[in-house]
Structure 1
Amino acid sequence: MVCKNSCKSPASGLIFTLKCLHLLFADFLQERNLSTETHFHLLGFQGSQNHRNLLFCFLLVVYCGTICGNLLIIALVSTSKNLHTPMYFFISQLSISDILLTTDIVPNMLHILLYNGGTITFFGCFTQLYFFCAFEAVQCFLLTVMSYDRYVAICNPLRYASILTWAHCVKLSIFCWVFGFSITLSDTLTASKLTFCEPNLIDHFFCDLVPLLEIACSDTFIVKVDVNLIVIPVVIIPCIIIVKSYISILSTILKIPSRTGRHKTFSTCGSHLTVVSIFYCTLFSVYVFPMKDQNLNISKILSLLYTVFTPLVNPIIYSLRNKDIRKALERIISNI
């Protein structure tokens, strides 16, 4: 497959790049010999039918709330002139990634809950894994860019408008999406080369890398090395940048003589700090520093946090703790 760059704008270039990556991934998997591992069986959450029905209804409500909440954020940022700033532009990008991430996981998970397990093809499993890893990486980069936005706004406010221009924000956003989809391609392709043991039972509600490695019959050393190498630019370096940014932000805030001024300045980054804390705590607990003797049930619950509940919580945090978004929503409601 040859991808020729015929893009005339940054947005079309981003879409074209993502299509090329997806086609490359699809071609690779379709060329693989699937005679021994055509399907995987996802066990999901084990329990009585009544318990699974209750969980199904609860997660369906959460999913609908996630979609509506994030679509509301995107609509408010797009239509309200007061929200046409770098910070809200990146918040809308985060909302887009939240919608895509939860849509990659939840619909199939609801099907598994309803029918007490489900079957997914080899191609479908690794496609889901690829997009899951890509959206997680995009969120890591977006949260890092948002911390940089808060750093410039608080530590260098006089140059904020000249540094974070519209063109610069679009380039940063494109970088997050393209780099996120590119860097996670290699570990997915490497994992897809593994040989899996029959009956291909995955004790999880989606095709995550950890349970896939557990049912692999072939050596997983190369995959683990590849994953550890990717964790550095995707998780560790962004986390270091965020921590360093907030150390500088706190240092600047503490120099403000007025207590009211300190509180007002810190409130502009309080929502972002809350979202970052929730996201990275769950991410580190599952993939980077898992607890000793962590069983699959705990892994499933932690996975629910960052795949289902975090995308729901993000728009709630940004709307409830943000006066500009609340005012924009009130204006729309009053006009209606």
Structure 2
Amino acid sequence: MKIRIHGGVGEKGRTCIGVEHGSTRLLLDVGVDTSAPRGPGYYPAISPEELAATEAIIVTHAHEDHVGALGWCLANGFSGRVLMTAEAASETDATLLAYATAEERALAQTAKIETIEAGKPFRLGRIAIETGRSGHVVGGVWCHLTADGRRLGYCGDVVPASPVFAMDRMPPSDLFLLDASYGEDRVPAWERGLAVTRWLEAHPGGAVLPTPLSGRSVELIALIDSPIAIHPSMQASLAQQIAAGSWLAPGIADELSRKLAGALLWREGETLPKAALLCHDGMGLAGPSAAALAQAQAERKPVLLTGHVPKGSPGDAMLAAGKAQWLRFPTHPTLPENAALAAANGAPVVLAHSCDAATARALARTIPGLNPAPKPGDIIEI
């Protein structure tokens, strides 16, 4: 089995892992890098010839750094199968609206999505594929590929101990790709959550919290006990995620439904509410957060950033100017969690995705077998 790095290893964003065995070629995720200008660095490092030879794309979930380049792949030679869960498929168009060109989005809309189910194995050529719930978002999965006795484990984005989403145990691998989005962060999730709730308690007049539509928005709703507000465009998606009970931790759905039903609605142009306003997407790059952040500056409203802040985004500019604060909310593994995942998996070779090379080198001091050297363009054989 041959692994080709097209993005997301040795760098943050545009996650895209090529897998080859015999005549079968597939891609695991096709993301974009929102910190890069629209151009070669924004999309996966893969040629039209390679895309034309690719049989299938498997998308682990519908965040931009994993699915944002789907239409671009179709525009540049890919004509194969597209596989993802039904839940991820329902979120993909909203992501592409924010992060793809109109042409790319239109092409993706014409693609026939083949739905996969977490826990139900399938095959592509001679490659047997297992998936399981990732704990990151509704519809998010990890992937485990086997061919002629060689095994590849790809986390995608995972949360081993989410209070909201369930994660299934991954099988052993010969090569294991970890979600290293948080690098060396060792702060446990409960401590991060407590910091967010205390910050909100210190800002009772309300605040703006940009957040991805899927995943973190639901987890923030679970965390926050003070009044919550959302943009009307988020209602249907949030309700759909909460209704997907098989993806959730036991007993959480009723609490989430109650909080969503009581959420205030805010629309662009209205005075910002005296509540924690969750608005998507991309730290002001797209969606209602673009208007909400601009209005927060005008009204001098507090802003809390809780995830990755793309370089050059409005959120990044506000943070640099002291007009926003940042507290990481846990939606990826900490270093101790990644070390435990790698130990349980038993793979002799480990790669870190969704982090730069310097971070990977730092992780290699704690995680045995982690190779920090691979980068886009490299090939690894197992």
**TM-score of the two chains, using structure 2 as the length reference:** 0.24
Judging by fraction of residues, say which structure has more strand.
Answer: 2
Query: Which protein shows a greater Rg?
Result: 1
Q: Relative to total residues, which structure has the larger helix share, 1 or 2?
A: 1
